[in-house]
Amino acid sequence: MFNKKTIEDIDLKDKKVIVRVDYNVPLDADLNVKDNTRIKLSLPTLNYLIAQNCKIILMAHLGRPKGEVVGKYRLTPAAKELEKLIGKPVKKFDEIASNAIKDYIDKTMKNGEIIMLENVRFNAGETKNNLDFAKELSGLADVYVNDAFGAAHRAHSSTAGIAQYLPAVAGYLLKTEVEELTSIIENPRKPFLAVLGGAKVADKIMVIKNFLNIVDSIIVGGGMSYTFLKSKGYEIGKSIHAEDPAEYEEQIKFAGEAIQEAQKNNVSFITPVDIVVAKMDSEGSFSGKKTVKADSIPCDYEGFDMGEETLKLYEKEIASAKTIFWNGPVGFFENAEFENGTKRVANAIANSNAKTIVGGGDTLSALKKFGLTDRISHVSSGGGASMELLEGKLLPGVAALLDK
């Protein structure tokens, strides 16, 4: 249940509304939007505000300009893409907030129109949650709407600080994301399976700790699985792991403890039993590709995908689940030689009868590569935000909104 006020819980008729959207989208070499998914996801909220005859002021970030004006991080491409999708002009400013923008909003802008401010991260105060900057932003509008789930885990001026100065409510995307993700923590259909991959164990530690009290089974794959194999005393050759020795030792210790905790909690904890390995030279070329037992990775080889026996275990577990959360590919799927494991997992999840929730940028890229995005119950737009929510954390951008 979402316990914060939304755009439907407040009078927005004819109001000036400043909306935080997540337009941190990939651009091509010509600075055109390569993937407009995040822009499309903002349309229900924007169309509702248009129907309420609002003056709509959009703010967003792109990339990490570190408080400086960087040409390639301007939001002009996003404004042009939004124009195409929403079917009306979007006036883009090259500043974030100024007297000129305020005058335009108050004196020239008509109700139902949309403007977009420049990248909020061009201001060094944004990522520090500088309240002077937040107050400056708030001076442009009557109401604040947060619809940027992908940035809701950041306590920034445009996600948290601004809510101190304006009535603050959620847009449709933010509400849906929080409801979908909290539903699998609070009331999942059983059996509940978590499929966790990707390169870094560090990114998943808190999620695994929380999931060990909720799920019925956990599948570990991808680069992070080699640390779990190491915790069992297996040699992993040159397979990916934390570079810092002290950090790596801590992660091996955590992996071993997680496996023991799973046994105590009667949680099935599935690690790879066979691995597709190869040698990679300094130029990124591969040789000697073969499948070996998980406890027999040669010292001069590196793991790049899950083996056939492992995938059969994964597929069997996926088929029996009623709720599935997936974050992280289980192999180097970007390379066609090592895409089999992630492709098989993606297809198994898409073909299952479970409620399926998928998050994380690389995972979404895999779904798109294999044409399966439309066959997932909910595809989360926020990787970091979704993981922090599933860790049990309160997201600053959500906490700042008005309670119902």
Just list the catalytic residues.
Answer: 38, 200, 361, 384
Question: What does DSSP say about strands 274-280 and 286-293: parallel, antiparallel, or unpaired?
Answer: antiparallel
What does the radius of gyration of the chain's CA atoms come to, in whole angstroms?
Answer: 23
Number of helices (H) and strands (E) in the chain: give both, helices first. Answer: 14, 15
Tell me which DSSP letter residue 27 carries.
B
373 and 367 in contact (C-beta within 8 Å)? yes
Question: Residue 286: beta bridge partners?
Answer: 280
144 and 4 in contact (C-beta within 8 Å)? no
How far apart are alpha carbons 223 and 247 in whole angstroms? 16
Distances (CA, A) of 366 to 170, 265, 278, 292, 371: 29, 32, 21, 25, 8
302 and 277 in contact (C-beta within 8 Å)? yes
240 and 228 in contact (C-beta within 8 Å)? no
Determine how many CB atoms are found less than 10 A away from the CB of residue 360.
22
Question: Residue 19: beta bridge partners?
Answer: 58, 145
Burial class (CB in 10 A: 0-12, 13-18, 19+), 242: middle
Cα torsion through 280, 283, 287, 290, rounded to 10: 30
Q: Where are the alpha helices (DSSP H) in 232-282?
A: 245-264
- In single-letter form, the type of residue at position 395 comes to L
SS3 for 355? strand
